Amino acid sequence: MKYVSVIMISSGFFLFLAATIGFLRLPDFYTRMHATGKGDTLGLLLIIMGLFFYELSINWTWSGVITGLKLIAMALFWFLASPTATHTLLRAAFETGIRPWSKDKEFLIDKTQGESNDIGR
């Protein structure tokens, strides 16, 4: 059980590292947010699940189980909150006029395309 937790925690740190490299190397706001949003979410989930397995391997009592359940609740909250926050930031950036980067400087998405059929506004 400890080996599983070490592998999961190491994989989570690798995803954090990959997200950081993506944030530093990618060309625009949207691709940077995509890299950090995916990498941070998956990295943190792997780290928390690794900590859950580690906690159960060293402390198989009621307090260890309760701590494990708290870790799962944290992972569930992060799994729901992080993609929602990333989407909200990207949507706000697009609505304020930040355009996606393209190699030939042509905008592939026009802001006026979605204005006629926005539901709920």
Taking only the tens place, the pLDDT of each residue in 47-99 is: 999 999 998 888 888 888 899 899 999 999 999 999 899 999 989 988 888 77
CB-count exposure of residue 121 (10 Å: 0-12, 13-18, 19+): exposed
Burial class (CB in 10 A: 0-12, 13-18, 19+), 41: buried
Q: What is the pTM of this model?
A: 0.77
113: left (phi over 0), alpha (psi -120 to 50) or beta: alpha
Q: How confident is the model at residue 104 (pLDDT cuts 50, 70, 90)?
A: confident
Give the separation between CA 81 and CA 43, rounded to whole angstroms. 14
Other C-beta atoms closer than 10 Å to the C-beta of 45 total 19
The pLDDT value recorded for residue 108 is 61
Asked if residue 81 lies in contact with residue 119, where contact means CB atoms within 8 angstroms, the answer is no
Nearest C-alpha neighbor of 94 from the set 21, 22, 33: 33
